[in-house]
């Protein structure tokens, strides 16, 4: 991995945190936290968006088997609408770190914002391609959220959740027009809000 982030922390309990699902119009925002085991390195870790779905699934299984600790958490659609997507994303990341056993000594968070917490931590811009633990977290979060959207596709046929994963594609926006808003749509997001206002 090029341009690895250097942090002045020598402990083996360094956690990486990332979230998936800020942009979609539907579904929870999902976060993961991972403490990798230096004794069992994992090759091929990188930003989950740069991996095929099959490769993400393979790596997710290896991460779950080899990591010292991992945790997946979320903020619900209702929490997104209540708090806004940024605060909901930070909440999901906080919950993911709280779920780690053992708890981390230091936390690196993808992006430029940190949740409000007591952990020694710092944000890392583009961390999912610079820090192996963050990359691992991005993979676990992506695999989890994608599986949930595939399940939503079965629950709400016709919306195309399995293909667009809730993102505002032309097909998704057309389905909203034709079929209406489901309970899994984020009512605070502009396309959904606008549609509801005209019905």
* Per-residue model confidence as pLDDT tens digits over 56-91: 999 999 999 999 999 999 999 999 999 999 999 999
* pLDDT at residue number 198: 80
Model confidence at 12, in pLDDT bands (50, 70, 90)?
Answer: confident
Place of tokens 């091929």: 44
Q: For the purposes of burial, counting CB atoms within 10 Å of the CB of 62, is it exposed (0-12), middle (13-18) or buried (19 or more)? A: middle
- Which residues are CB-neighbours of 31 under 8 A, at least 6 positions away? 17, 18, 19, 20, 72, 73, 74, 75, 89, 92, 93, 95, 96, 137, 141
CATH of 14-197, one of 3.40.50.2300, 3.10.105.10, 1.10.390.10, 3.30.420.10: 3.30.420.10
- Are the beta carbons of 106 and 33 closer than 8 angstroms? no
Percent of the chain residues topping a pLDDT of 70: 94
* pLDDT tens readout for residues 148-180: 999 999 999 999 999 999 999 999 999 999 999
* Angstrom distance (rounded) from CA 182 to CA 134: 32
- Which residues are CB-neighbours of 127 under 8 A, at least 6 positions away? 5, 16, 18, 108, 109, 110, 111, 134
pLDDT surpasses 60 at 1: no
* pTM beyond 0.85: yes
Place of tokens 């690895």: 4
Place of tokens 């959220």: 145
* pLDDT tens readout for residues 114-136: 999 999 999 999 999 999 999 99
Give me the helix-helix angle, 170-179 and 190-197, nearest 10°: 20
């Amino acid at each position: 991995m090029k341009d690895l982030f250097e942090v002045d922390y020598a402990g083996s309990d360094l956690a990486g945190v990332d979230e998936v699902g800020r942009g979609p119009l539907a579904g929870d925002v999902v976060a993961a936290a991972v403490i990798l085991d230096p004794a069992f390195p994992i090759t091929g870790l990188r930003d989950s968006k740069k991996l095929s779905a099959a490769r993400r699934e393979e790596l997710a299984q290896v991460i779950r088997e080899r990591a010292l600790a991992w945790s997946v958490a979320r903020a619900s659609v209702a929490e997104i609408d209540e708090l806004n997507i940024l605060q909901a994303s930070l909440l999901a990341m906080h919950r993911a770190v709280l779920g780690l056993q053992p708890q981390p000594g230091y936390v690196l968070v993808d992006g430029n914002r940190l949740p409000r917490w007591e952990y020694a931590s710092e944000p890392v811009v583009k961390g999912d391609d610079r820090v192996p633990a963050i990359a691992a977290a991005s993979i676990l979060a992506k695999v989890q959220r994608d599986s949930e959207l595939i399940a939503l596709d079965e629950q709400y046929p016709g919306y195309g959740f399995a293909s667009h994963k809730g993102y505002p594609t032309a097909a998704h926006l057309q389905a909203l027009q034709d079929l209406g808003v489901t309970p899994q749509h984020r009512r605070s997001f502009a396309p959904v809000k606008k549609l509801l206002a005209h019905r």
